[in-house]
Structure 1
Amino acid sequence: MNTHHALHAFDNGQALATALSASIAGKLRDAIAARGEALMAVSGGSTPKRLFEVLSNETLDWPRVTVTLVDERWVPDTDERSNARLVESLLLQRKAADAEFVPLYTEAATPEAGIGEVRTRVAALKQPFDVIVLGMGPDGHTASFFPGGDRLSEALDASNSVLVLPMRAPGAGEPRITFTLPVLLKARALYLHIQGDDKRDVLAAAEQPGSALPIASVLRADRPLDIYWCP
């Protein structure tokens, strides 16, 4: 494992969610204390559901926190597949209900058609992000960096100054919108949240020299990464 990585292993999802939530809340408090506000991007899928519920009960100055997504399916938040819907229903509740949410989806027909509006939105965010929480799929994707993605090389280009890109890939289902790798790597605190022995195996494969799995681009970066895992 990269010497910049810290692996935090837990017996179950509740213990993981409690510990990760506490760490994230601490980073957000530090950001608010230092700069008067905090900026966080989270991932969708099924893995973070318990984390969102725990994090929504953390005591901090939520009106000073802006939340967005690492990536999004190009569907409205009325769709069950929407990451925004997940965040709105589980994270932006209880104490966290006063946080500001910046969605990546627009009503344009495609992410390519809506990319201009999305870029305007995210350019207004005071980056770098204070906290980014990544997930990882069984195919080794993180964010919307899917194997075979039509903009994958562009999204992973360390010299790319573009903040967000459309992405289409055979394994992605819907068209997507995603932050690019340079944005993720500039985060003040970067987390990878994974569950299951299968994900641990994918992670081990991605850590091998020369791995072509998209998550490997994050793992190879010369920066701290906190990995939270449970079976």
Structure 2
Amino acid sequence: MISWRKFDSRAQMVDALEEDTTEALSRALRKHGRASWAVSGGSTPKPLFEAMAEVDIAWEDVQVALVDERWVDIGHPRSNEAFMRGALETGKAAEAHFVGMKTPHDSPWDGAAEVNKRYSSLAQPFASVLLGMGPDAHTASFFPEAEGLEAALDMGNESLCVALTAKKSAVTGDEVDRMSLSASAIASSPHVALMITGEEKLAVLENALEKDTHLPVARLAKVADIIVYWAP
């Protein structure tokens, strides 16, 4: 199910997301003594990461992990882990424990068992999950017609992480092999935020929800409670 929070400016959106994410993490810390936050890469969340890096919470008890990753090493220019660390390993958030997805295996399919073992050590469910969305209506690494998509979206699949191979496109680039949180892992979180900006992505999302409901973001919205944070 989708709920909407629309803002007049990106600064207002970031402020609201900072407040809501901080509350979600703080709630888990109070209840369990630790909390996990799953985050996405890309340019859109960077201002949020910069804001969250200065939030005064018990970061030493927070685990920050990835929603999804291209199957590339951290030295690759399109590594989500490198982006996450560069944006969040500053200020107070530097005390958090950062967890990547990439393993030494040749493919995400070969590395899936190890990634699931790694993620099973994280506080579950994730206190907060931050999603993005591409112009093709993919979210996480749920790309249209990707190999592994049905397993990834299967709510009966109890794996935390799943391997996918996307069809190469302008959106995927050359890095079609991916690792992603499963739909069931995302849906279990009490705070699932979809952060998007601009009229184009708003139109993509509305079209997926209202017409092309077979697209991944619409399919995820059927099984997860998602709050859309949008600004022009």
Range into which the TM-score falls when normalised by the shorter chain: over 0.9
The amino acid of 1:203's aligned partner reads: L
State whether residues 41 and 132 of structure 1, in contact with CA within 8 Å, keep that contact through their aligned partners in structure 2: yes
State whether residues 71 and 104 of structure 1, in contact with CA within 8 Å, keep that contact through their aligned partners in structure 2: yes
Percent pairwise identity: 38
Which one of the candidate residues 5, 12, 18 is aligned to 2:9?
12
Match of 1:182 in 2: 184
**Distance (whole Å) between structure 2 residues aligned to residue 200 and residue 100 of structure 1:** 33
Provide TM-score, normalisation by structure 1.
Answer: 0.94
The amino acid of 2:166's aligned partner reads: A
Match of 1:49 in 2: 46
**Distance (whole Å) between structure 2 residues aligned to residue 51 and residue 80 of structure 1:** 21
- What are the within-5 Å matches in structure 2 for residues 199-218 of structure 1? 199-208=201-210, 211-218=213-220
Q: In the comparison of the two structures, how many residue pairs are matched? A: 227
Provide TM-score, normalisation by structure 2.
Answer: 0.93
Which one of the candidate residues 25, 28, 31 is aligned to 1:28?
25
- What are the within-5 Å matches in structure 2 for residues 1-231 of structure 1? 2=1, 5-170=2-167, 171=169, 172-173=172-173, 174=175, 175-208=177-210, 211-221=213-223, 224-231=225-232
Deviations 1:146-199 (A, max 9, x none): 012000111111111122111111233311101111111011211111111011
**Distance (whole Å) between structure 1 residues aligned to residue 110 and residue 220 of structure 2:** 28
Q: Does the residue aligned with 1:20 lie in a helix, a strand or coil?
A: helix
**Distance (whole Å) between structure 2 residues aligned to residue 100 and residue 150 of structure 1:** 31
Where in structure 1 are there 5+ consecutive unaligned residues? none
Decide which moves more: 189-198 or 104-113: 104-113
Q: Does the residue aligned with 2:31 lie in a helix, a strand or coil?
A: helix
Q: CA RMSD in A?
A: 1.4
Q: Does the residue aligned with 1:147 lie in a helix, a strand or coil?
A: coil
**Distance (whole Å) between structure 1 residues aligned to residue 216 and residue 3 of structure 2:** 20
State whether residues 13 and 50 of structure 1, in contact with CA within 8 Å, keep that contact through their aligned partners in structure 2: no
Where in structure 2 are there 5+ consecutive unaligned residues? none
Q: Does the residue aligned with 2:216 lie in a helix, a strand or coil?
A: coil
State whether residues 6 and 225 of structure 1, in contact with CA within 8 Å, keep that contact through their aligned partners in structure 2: yes
**Distance (whole Å) between structure 1 residues aligned to residue 204 and residue 151 of structure 2:** 23
Q: Residues 209 and 201 of structure 1: is their aligned pair in 2 closer, same or farther, counting only changes over 3 Å?
A: closer
Q: Does the residue aligned with 2:154 lie in a helix, a strand or coil?
A: coil
The amino acid of 1:29's aligned partner reads: S
